[in-house]
Chain A
Amino acid sequence: MSVQVRDISVRFGRRQVLDALTLPEMHAGEVTVLAGPNAAGKSTLLRAIAQLLPHQGQVALDGQDLRQMPATERARLVGFMPQSLPSGSSLIALETVIAALRAGKTLPAHQADAAAMAVMEKLGIASLALEPLDALSGGQRQMVALAQAIVRDPSLLLLDEPTSALDLARQVRLLSELRRLAAEGRVVAAVLHDLALAAQWADRIVLIHAGRVHAHGRPQDVLTPALLAEIYGVEARIERCSRGRLMVLIDGERQLAR
């Protein structure tokens, strides 16, 4: 399975957020990280791929245009995890995961309940199942959002800053889960700000700057001091630790990367 994203343009009023952006083809088994400075258009791109906002250009899954598909069919194929879930509802966590299954298609209650519970268990948040969503912490809500995104067993998984509110253990848990989901034959694309995490977990990094793809490739090819200086305006060193992993060290005084 592969995903093609071609010539995506998005305008918000007068502002051209994305300008005919084309991503390298993404394949099953790969984790692609979208990185870049604030307001580069990463989240907008992710939402456009998920068909959540009006855009020009084409997103195709194995040649099938996502835009032409009925919403329910698309929901079966694509999972989207937002940066955060809105507060103010009095739903409990398990209900929201069940809603992610039953809003788009008819499913017997016991089957949906069990499937939602199994996903929460797999993510290590079974104990939160009966808690009101509003009572959960930011990190816990993010894990519930991930459960909502993967409960339909999608082929393409899109995640918007999935680790932004997670503690260290949960970050590792989420990222290894993403690796596992990819290994099972899915295409995974995530917006990440933390380049150290990206270096460790991504197969490929796409650096986005001012609505365009600035560079893409394997982490060791993309994460270079020159490119980071160009995009983020920081002085950076790329080192290898004793285990051979890439480390991104920022020396510059103005740390714009975070």
Chain B
Amino acid sequence: MELVASAIRLTVPILLASLGAVFSERGGVVNIGLEGIMIVGTFFGALGALKYGPAAGVAMAAAAGLALALLHAVVTITFHVDQIISGVALNMLAGGLTRFLSILLFGMATQSPGVPGFAPLSVPLLRDVPFLRPVASGISPLVVLAALAVVAAHLILTRTVFGLRLRAVGENPHAADTLGLNVYVLRYSGVLLSGVFAGVAGSYLAIEQGRHYFEGMTQGRGFIALAALIFGNWWPVGAAAASALFGFFDALSLRVVVTGVPYQFITALPYAVSILVLAGVVRRARPPAAAGRPYVKEEG
């Protein structure tokens, strides 16, 4: 049960970022800058929590993620620059920016002082069962939020006008445009949502998991989130299942003594799995048809 509880905690950041990736890619924009956005999220999460408490930390991380995602959106959607290039530049910018701001605001290049977290929640009755105690107590409110976000994201994509239009734009922007949808506005929304999610994912790492910010604390989880997106076949529930699997591997790799397998192999597992999924070994991957392609509205 300790392992399960640890797996849940490690699932949340991957899950939140991969939900963001679902919105971005469903709208047709690949965002490999998620890693960078998450890094910025860890920094601003710690900063906000330090100054005004954990809720402010999450809000600041979300705002910072939004700002960085806006940059990605402007460059890729308005200026039609290749989405991969923009993402690479975004990751580079995030690295320099956080280090710089950390020196400026924390007085240290690579870490912050300790920050306060949320008061943990626990489930009445269940928490008194010794076997269930690890999973039924000490729950971060963000874990609950992440679980609700999966359901919300699924409903938004399948039941709302916005979700259906977003998917249309990701599959066939020309047809969507012909039908009178504003491709640019919809794609902007998808990318901005991904920024908010990835920012919050970062803040979870800093506020709830690390209780302070340190450089490199994302450990490539932004990229793992993309792997979860692929494994989950670009659906929120699938992404959640994949994130849970990867979170479990993550928890397992921390228990190297128990398994006896070199932890590096367990660390590499999510990456290997996503390559196999993409190669169609596990099953057929079907990304949104227009993901990765800039949409240029015909002029005249």
Partners in one complex: no
Please report B residues at the A interface, Cβ cutoff 8 Å. Answer: none
A: residues with CB less than 8 A from B are none
